Chains A and B, each alone.
Chain A
Amino acid sequence: MFEIDLAAKILSYCDENELAVSDLIRKVSGNHDKTMALVRELEERTLLLPRISRNHSVGRPRKLLRTTPLGKQFITEYNRLHDLFLRSNDNDLNKAIHQAELAQRLVEIGLYPYERFQELNEIVQNIARSAKIEQHTR
């Protein structure tokens, strides 16, 4: 399985412009070997299309990379999925730990957390119901 975030970055760069390998590595500014390995894999999966350019009068022919239609589809799907990632930060984790501690304290005194949940859930339902009526009659 390749590194998806880096793959999406490479495909986006090569979608904007046809890029020489050296230019791509500079843009990605990551590890050279890792980027090259990923470029090879993207070529094998036909997400990137290599082309040899002989336009330069001096030096070796350049290998240029362009994103294929399949690669473009990858970018679209990646961007769509990116917005669906579940994210949490330290504050969320601390709050989850706090909730777990509260539940643990209930267990320690012999209260069943699910019963407490049901009680609180009823309060939540009452708040939702009464707020709806209140706002409707305003």
Chain B
Amino acid sequence: MLIGDYALPAYGQLRTTQDIDIAIAASYERSTKLQGELVQLGYQIPTPPSPDAPLFLVADLKMKLEVEIWTKPDGVVFDSELLRRRVKVRPFGDDFEMFVIGPEDFIVNKLARQDRGVQDEQDALSVLARRKGKLDYEYLRHRAKQAGVTGLLHTLIEKTDV
């Protein structure tokens, strides 16, 4: 499913970047197998597989595109609740469907990022503001607590009240 900047337009402001982040629920073994298959298809994976790595980078040298595939996205717990809250989108029109992370999990993922920037906070704020009153705040707080970002979430929710 899509996470990060390309999940933002599903719930928040429209913003175009070249960072494509995809989260997959895969064990280390399955992830390694996938990486091998992608290499066979002609994609480049600059770093060797590691069980500790939260993601691996896939580069399409022909198209000059890079995609980050996350197996351990920050603040994201792959469970039935997360899967239930995903939303189906059609990034290329009607021919192709894929999932985008749910809005509450999107917010927590943005806030829990190890390399969180101010832009990430703005993205989370954008979803909090645009989906004010429509979010599942109990679930959101629960996930934020799991990820250790309760304080930051509280501050941002307060900002949307101003």
- A residues lining the B interface (CB < 8 Å): 87-89, 91-92, 94-95, 98-99, 102-103, 105-106, 109, 111, 116-117, 120-121, 123-128, 130-131, 134-135
Q: How many A-B residue pairs have CB under 8 A?
A: 77
- Let me know if A130 and B89 touch, CB within 8 A: yes
**Which residues of the partner chain A approach B115 to less than 8 Å between Cβ atoms?**
91, 94-95
- Let me know if B117 and A127 touch, CB within 8 A: no
Interface size, chain B (Cβ < 8 Å):
28
**A88-B120 Cα distance, complex, nearest whole Å:** 10
**A99-B16 Cα distance, complex, nearest whole Å:** 11
**A106-B18 Cα distance, complex, nearest whole Å:** 11
**Which residues of the partner chain A approach B15 to less than 8 Å between Cβ atoms?**
124
**A124-B118 Cα distance, complex, nearest whole Å:** 21
**Which residues of the partner chain B approach A102 to less than 8 Å between Cβ atoms?**
18, 64, 66
Q: List 10 A-B contacts (CB under 8 A).
A: A87-B118, A88-B117, A91-B116, A98-B19, A99-B19, A123-B92, A124-B14, A124-B15, A128-B9, A131-B9
**Which residues of the partner chain A approach B2 to less than 8 Å between Cβ atoms?**
127
Nearest-CB distance from B103 to chain A (Å)?
9
